[in-house]
Structure 1
Amino acid sequence: MKHPILLLLATLIAAPVAAQSPMTAAEFDAYSRGKTFYYGSMGEAYGVEQYFDNRRVKWSFLDGQCSDGVWYERDGLICFEYEEVVDPNPQCWTFFKGPSGLIAQFEGDPEQTTLYEVQNADEPMTCLGPEVGV
């Protein structure tokens, strides 16, 4: 189901991101620490991430299943590594501060996935417990 705000934000990020300077690790940390961001991509809800002290994070694709991880700066990119994931390779992004919040380009490539901040919440995200067998 498409949300009007997601479609509006997708239109807003169509403005050239390349004209903006990427956020440094210090800027990203100052902006994100202690917050929870809901991200969208191409007009659809994409995921939620909660940012903690010491560059720790918790990610979910909005399915209630959460993965703990860390982020770090590498070659100007902000890279994430998560404990419970299929792909153990770092997921590296270039972050920009747009007029409506964060904009993230996967590996700094505008042809790849672009995420944008849809909502900034102070409350923690919802994570279900581990799956219980029958």
Structure 2
Amino acid sequence: MRHALPALCLMIALPAAAEPRMSAAEFDAYTRGKTLYYADGAEPYGAEIYLPGRRVRWSFLDGECRDGEWYEAGGLICFVYEDRPDAQCWSFERRATGLIARFENDPAATELYEAAEQDEELLCLGPKVGV
């Protein structure tokens, strides 16, 4: 029994094996036609509509939406948007609770969790017009 305790402690101390990254085909099959809401811990972060043809519409839930598209590069899912043409590349893992997305341009910066899926459209207020 005294040999079992150190072995048990060692097993508890080891991190859980990471899920494999989703391929582009897996990501497309999981997301296409959905609106997914993401959270940064307990805080809402934003939502994205996944449209046919690898097109997307992103919002930080502020009423402004950005259209873009995604593609696979080096095992990552990269997004470019109409107002931001530099690629933002993420790795995605599918867990029982939903997706986990890690921003690979700066892995220490952002890890998002799928918080919800909605069938309704995002609130996009349209372009700002002034006087």
Output the TM-score relative to the length of structure 2.
0.83
Aligned counterparts of 1:36 and 1:121: Cα–Cα separation in 2: 5
Identity within the alignment, %: 60
CA 1:73–1:123: 2 relative to 1, 3 Å: same
Q: Which one has a bigger Cα radius of gyration? A: 2
Q: Which residue of 1 aligns with 2:80?
A: 81
- Computed over aligned residues only, the root mean square deviation of the Cα atoms, in angstroms, reads 1.7
Aligned counterparts of 2:54 and 2:107: Cα–Cα separation in 1: 25
- Structure 2: tracts of 5 or more residues without a match: 1-14
Which structure has more strand as a fraction of its residues? 2
Please state how far the C-alpha of 1:110 moved relative to its aligned partner.
4.9
CA contact (8 A) 2:41 2:113 kept: no
- Structure 1: tracts of 5 or more residues without a match: 1-15
Q: Which runs of 4+ in 1 moved over 3 A?
A: none
1:50 alignment partner AA: I
Count of residue pairs the alignment pairs up: 117
Please state how far the C-alpha of 1:112 moved relative to its aligned partner.
2.9
CA 1:113–1:130: 2 relative to 1, 3 Å: same
- 1:125 aligned onto 2:122: yes
Q: Which residue of 1 aligns with 2:4?
A: none
